[in-house]
């Protein structure tokens, strides 16, 4: 088990290196003059200013040297200070947010992480539980109902469902609201009396013992969570159901039943445990995707997360913000699949012994 995990960890640097090659390659599509405008807050207006920026960041150097400087930074010949460097946390300046890309990612990520964690509760809990129930009642009325619901949920356009949520629960009933917090509570959160430990509003509200802020944050997060859950739990339901049915046909299940084991024991120890492997893959990828920011959902509900940031950057042709977002996505997915591989070892002893 330890050797398996070590092998997976040792592969990570190579995968991350490959991701940086792709991101840097996309940046090289632009010429030195075009890229010079990406590294400064104000667009250079004269040829002398453009030439100075190109010299400062070495944008006309050979490609391998540019990659080295892009990763580790470059010493400015005029000031003697190191500028740039992805490993130093310098991803450039965001024209969309009027601040460094790294700072923008730090500000937006907690909101998206909070949305993802709340959404995973109904997605995993509902999808896996309903999938198990559907498989155990195979071809019975309950199974047929769940299959119809899964088909409807999976084929329903996300933006249509989101707009329906806004129309019913905000415009007509006013139960829930878009955004992240009401104006009065947003002012409270930004005041000195409220400590932002994690920048996740529901968590910080509980840590500050402000249950009124917690309730208001829940009112704003319910609609995007339900919108995300409707599509994703339908996928998990179908995956769980198929995996359970496949596991139920295996020889070891028939052997366990032949030994006289109780059906509940057969399901819990032999069927469900082995059926969870593909479910973990989908659930892990879903969580990573949610943490990357769900673009349509965040835009419709005016939720200030990574998805909304990426949409605004794309509309304004903010290249460095988009590349920083892509690099962040790649690293996040690599980490997610490492955790999935480790969970495989915990669940499946065959991998542990290989």
pLDDT in tens, 68-111: 888 887 777 667 777 777 888 888 778 788 888 888 888 888 99
Q: Residue 319 phi/psi, 5° resolution?
A: -65, -45
Question: 55: which 2 tokens?
Answer: 């010299």
Q: Domain check: are 132 and 75 in the same one?
A: no
Instruction: Write out pLDDT tens, residues 23-61.
Output: 888 888 877 777 776 666 666 667 777 787 777 777 788
Only one residue has tokens 């997915």, namely 333
Q: Is 12 domain-assigned?
A: no
Give the domain extent around 335: 99-353
The whole-model pTM stands at: 0.82
Which phi-psi region, left, alpha or beta, contains residue 91 (left: φ > 0; alpha: ψ -120 to 50)?
alpha
Which DSSP string corresponds to 273-306?
HHHHHHHHHHHHHHHHHHHT--HHHHHHTT--SH
Q: Domain check: are 319 and 218 in the same one?
A: yes
Residue 16 pLDDT: 87
Q: Is 103 domain-assigned?
A: yes
* Residue 214, pLDDT above cutoff 90: yes
User: How many structural domains comprise the chain?
Assistant: 2
Q: Is 219 domain-assigned?
A: yes
């Amino acid at each position: 088990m330890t050797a398996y995990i070590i092998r997976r960890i040792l592969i990570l640097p190579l995968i991350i290196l490959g991701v940086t090659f792709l991101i840097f390659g996309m940046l090289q599509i632009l010429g030195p003059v075009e890229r010079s405008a990406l590294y400064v807050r104000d667009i250079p207006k004269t040829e002398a200013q453009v030439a100075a920026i190109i010299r400062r960041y070495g944008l006309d150097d050979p490609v391998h040297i540019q990659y080295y400087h892009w990763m580790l930074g470059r010493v400015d010949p005029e000031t003697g200070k190191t500028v740039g460097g992805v490993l130093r946390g310098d991803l450039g300046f965001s024209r969309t947010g009027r601040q460094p890309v790294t700072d923008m990612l730090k500000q937006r990520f907690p909101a998206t992480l909070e949305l993802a964690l709340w959404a995973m509760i109904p997605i995993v809990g509902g999808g896996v539980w309903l999938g198990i129930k559907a498989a155990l009642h195979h071809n019975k009325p309950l199974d047929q109902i769940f299959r119809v619901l899964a088909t409807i949920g999976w084929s329903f356009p996300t933006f249509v469902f989101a707009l329906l949520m806004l129309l019913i629960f905000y415009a007509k009933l006013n139960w829930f609201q878009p955004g992240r917090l009401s104006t009065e509570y947003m002012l409270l959160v930004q005041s000195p009396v409220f400590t932002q430990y994690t920048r996740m509003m529901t968590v910080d509200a509980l840590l500050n013992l402000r249950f009124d802020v917690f309730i208001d944050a829940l009112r704003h997060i319910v609609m995007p969570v339900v919108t995300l859950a409707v599509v994703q739990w339908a996928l998990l339901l179908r995956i769980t159901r198929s995996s359970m049915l496949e596991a139920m046909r295996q020889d070891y299940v028939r052997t366990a039943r032949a030994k006289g084991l109780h059906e509940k024991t057969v399901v819990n120890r032999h069927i469900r445990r082995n059926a969870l492997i593909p479910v973990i893959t989908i659930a892990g990828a879903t969580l990573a995707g949610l943490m990357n920011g769900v673009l349509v959902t965040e835009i419709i509900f005016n939720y200030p997360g990574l998805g909304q940031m990426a949409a605004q950057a794309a509309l304004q042709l903010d290249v460095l913000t988009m590349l920083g977002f892509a690099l962040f996505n790649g690293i996040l997915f690599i980490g997610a699949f490492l955790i999935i591989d480790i969970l495989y070892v915990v669940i499946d002893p065959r991998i542990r012994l290989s």
